[in-house]
Structure 1
Amino acid sequence: MSLLDQTVASILPLDNEAAWAADARLNSLTKPPRSLGHLEELVRRYAAIRRDESASSGRAAIAVFVADHGVAAEGVSAFPQAVTAEMLRNIAAGGAAISVLARRFGYPLKVVDVGVKIDTSTKPLKGVTYRRVGAGTRNFLDGPAITPEDATRALEVGIEIARELAGIGATLIGIGEMGIANSTPAAAILSALTAIAPDAMVGRGTGLDDAGVRRKTEVVARALEIHRAALASGESMLAALGGFEIAAMAGVCIGGAAYNVPVVVDGFIATAAAAVAEKIHPGLFDHLFFSHRSSEGGHALALEHFKLRPILDLDLRLGEGTGAALAMNVIESALDLFHNMATFAGAGVSGKVR
């Protein structure tokens, strides 16, 4: 049995008893019932995912996966493909937005080259973990973007990263990505899974003009037609439409669920990865937190379709895990309130009059 199959088979349902126990403590704190709103739901779900009624928290960590896409040749990005390798260097060197936020919040940042076209592993960049499955994907208008074997391998890279982070005590994992043109396969995946038309799902990505958006929409529509027969499963969809970093993020979602570690999903592209993971193992969304409603493309429509409530809405569309980092801080704040507020009994405060 493959690592992917073993991991999927080991996923357990949420622990409702842990959620109920956490809810009982929330109701004992010195506040009106439910007055912390959605923060209380974050705590209950965290306890259920962790299978821990005390909702104990350790360290949080962020994994950013970086890869290239052959569909960039179709002019679907406003930036050249070389930017992927340049941003890999920038993230690892501490100059990217996610690097700043990870430092600000004290989150270990794992930067993973899972398929950048320019191979820097011969002179490894400091701060980069190399788990290269390939040197970018093929153009999915010319055939499948990657082989089924490479799709599985990329999923397993994500599972391995989740296992490594859980092994160093991570109790919350944020996922993000970087890869020129990767909003194109993400739009194709989300269109396929939601049946939302490409013209509603496709966005401006790195800053396309109107003509660029029309071209990108046509590319996505053609890809869905070409690969219609391959859209029945999550694995075959990844092989057809590609994205080593999309597959790896899906793998983290699967691995996090298996290791009882909540995964915080970033924006549009990470949501496509999470949706693939849900396709592979229905019910997986229960193990995830969705960090924010991106202003990119049809992200809001996809979240609505899947009935997912994001934590934040800041008009972000950067990627990299920036929204995940901000939402993780909100989750940690909710857990701090849960653990450190006084109870009515402990503080000698009168409870609600019945």
Structure 2
Amino acid sequence: MNRFTSIADFNAAFGNMPQPDFAAIEAASARQAELTKPAGSLGRLEEIAIFMAGWQGRPRPKLERLKAAVFAGNHGVAAQGVSAFPIEVTAQMVANFRAGGAAINALAGACGAELAVVPIDLDRPTEDITSDAAMSEADCLEALSIGASVVKPDMDLLFVGEMGIGNTTPASALCAQSYGGSASSWTGRGSGVDDAALARKTQAVEQALALHGPHCDSPFEILRRLGGREIAAMAGAILAARLERVPVLLDGFICCAAIAPLAAALPQFTDHCIAGHCSSEAGHVRLLEALGLDPLIQLNMRLGEGTGAAVAAQIVRSAIAAHESMATFAEAVVAQPS
């Protein structure tokens, strides 16, 4: 699946959730029990290795084909003064990504990920969600498809990130619409805005919810009315990864907000996902709790771009290395615990 040609096509894909390979999970669990360590002594590293085995469909998972994709889009709601940066910065940062000068370039390189940078109609911002739906049906389907197109069935692990000035505002609206709660409980300082801009953000989210809430009767409608092109692309990529049984390492608040409409409608949607980190953005702790995910790290990061997931990928590498390279009790001629 690399294209959603209609809403019915998207809904059909969303309704077709493959499960992990339970035989691979059983075999990986059995191997963990044979490795030269007390049972459970590597803690969550053992769980990660077994998780990866199940979604890769092999008892000894690999991390040779790690893909990172950063999607970029612009937002009409930025005109409401909700960001510390002007909208032109989105394109400027895309150029920085392509030149190799951003944090995600350094961190993707450090964890061995192949990085794709995917700008989406930067000269055509979404509509201002305080007064109109962010995207038409066609634009939302196209963004979902752009995201899905980065997923290949032979990937070992995927993580996605974003760049879009003003995009914590639609992310907050997506969370509030999907899981309830006030606009203020989901809205944070994003790029580091002052109190006045935070008040404008909160008001923008409130207006968007009042306008679109009565029409948000499906995950697709929530995404297209309240989201953005790069946000929908992340949702499309994560959905396509599930269809191909590719495990996903989630990044921060905006990445997780992208799948909030899908996970709220189908909680098991996140079964193929690991939360890479918990950002310092106000709503991320609450969102991870709603998604039922426990982050691997918490380093007070809030950059986006996929950077938190890139750092967490090092932990996944460690989990797989221990699972693959440790000797069993029999191989090491070490007596097993009685």
User: Does structure 1 residue 342 correspond to structure 2 residue 331?
Assistant: no
Query: Which residue of the partner structure matches residue 60 of structure 1?
Result: 66
Query: Which residue of the partner structure matches residue 294 of structure 1?
Result: 279
Residue pair 2:179, 2:264 contacting (<8 A) in 1 also: no
User: Does structure 1 residue 20 correspond to structure 2 residue 33?
Assistant: no
TM-score (norm 2): 0.94
Return the letter of the residue paired with 2:94.
Answer: L
- Structure 1 segments unaligned to the other structure (5+ residues): 118-134
Instruction: Provide the C-alpha distance between the structure 2 equivalents of 1:293 and 1:280, rounded to a whole number of angstroms.
Output: 22
CA deviations over 1:28-69 (Å, ceiling 9, x no partner) = 111110011111111111112223233244321100000000
Instruction: Provide the C-alpha distance between the structure 1 equivalents of 2:91 and 2:250, rounded to a whole number of angstroms.
Output: 23
Q: How much has 1:230 moved relative to structure 2?
A: 2.4
Return the letter of the residue paired with 1:350.
Answer: A
Q: What percent identity do the matched residue pairs reach?
A: 41
Does 182-191 or 230-239 show the bigger shift? 230-239
User: Does structure 1 residue 219 correspond to structure 2 residue 204?
Assistant: yes
Instruction: Provide the C-alpha distance between the structure 1 equivalents of 2:12 and 2:181, rounded to a whole number of angstroms.
Output: 32
Residue pair 1:233, 1:279 contacting (<8 A) in 2 also: no
Equivalent of 1:147, from 119, 136, 143? 136
User: Does structure 1 residue 49 correspond to structure 2 residue 38?
Assistant: no
Query: Which residue of the partner structure matches residue 167 of structure 2?
Result: 182
Instruction: Provide the C-alpha distance between the structure 2 equivalents of 1:4 and 1:156, rounded to a whole number of angstroms.
Output: 9
Instruction: Provide the C-alpha distance between the structure 2 equivalents of 1:28 and 1:115, rounded to a whole number of angstroms.
Output: 52
Q: How much has 1:278 moved relative to structure 2?
A: 2.5
CA deviations over 1:63-91 (Å, ceiling 9, x no partner) = 00000000000000010000000000001
Residues 148-163 of structure 1: pairs in structure 2 closer than 5 A: 148-163=137-152
Instruction: Provide the C-alpha distance between the structure 2 equivalents of 1:44 and 1:18, rounded to a whole number of angstroms.
Output: 8
Residue pair 1:246, 1:273 contacting (<8 A) in 2 also: yes
Return the letter of the residue paired with 2:324.
Answer: H
CA-based RMSD: 1.6
Residue pair 1:265, 1:274 contacting (<8 A) in 2 also: no
Q: How much has 1:282 moved relative to structure 2?
A: 4.6
Instruction: Provide the C-alpha distance between the structure 2 equivalents of 1:285 and 1:105, rounded to a whole number of angstroms.
Output: 23
Instruction: Provide the C-alpha distance between the structure 2 equivalents of 1:228 and 1:221, rounded to a whole number of angstroms.
Output: 10
Return the letter of the residue paired with 2:277.
Answer: H
Query: What is the SS of the residue equivalent to 1:53?
Result: coil
TM-score (norm 1): 0.90
Q: How much has 1:263 moved relative to structure 2?
A: 1.2
Query: Which residue of the partner structure matches residue 127 of structure 1?
Result: none
Query: Which residue of the partner structure matches residue 31 of structure 1?
Result: 37
User: Quick one: structure 1 residues 150 and 279, their matched pair in 2 at CA, closer, same or farther if it must change by over 3 Å?
Assistant: farther
Return the letter of the residue paired with 2:283.
Answer: G
Instruction: Provide the C-alpha distance between the structure 2 equivalents of 1:38 and 1:232, rounded to a whole number of angstroms.
Output: 37
Residue pair 2:103, 2:307 contacting (<8 A) in 1 also: yes
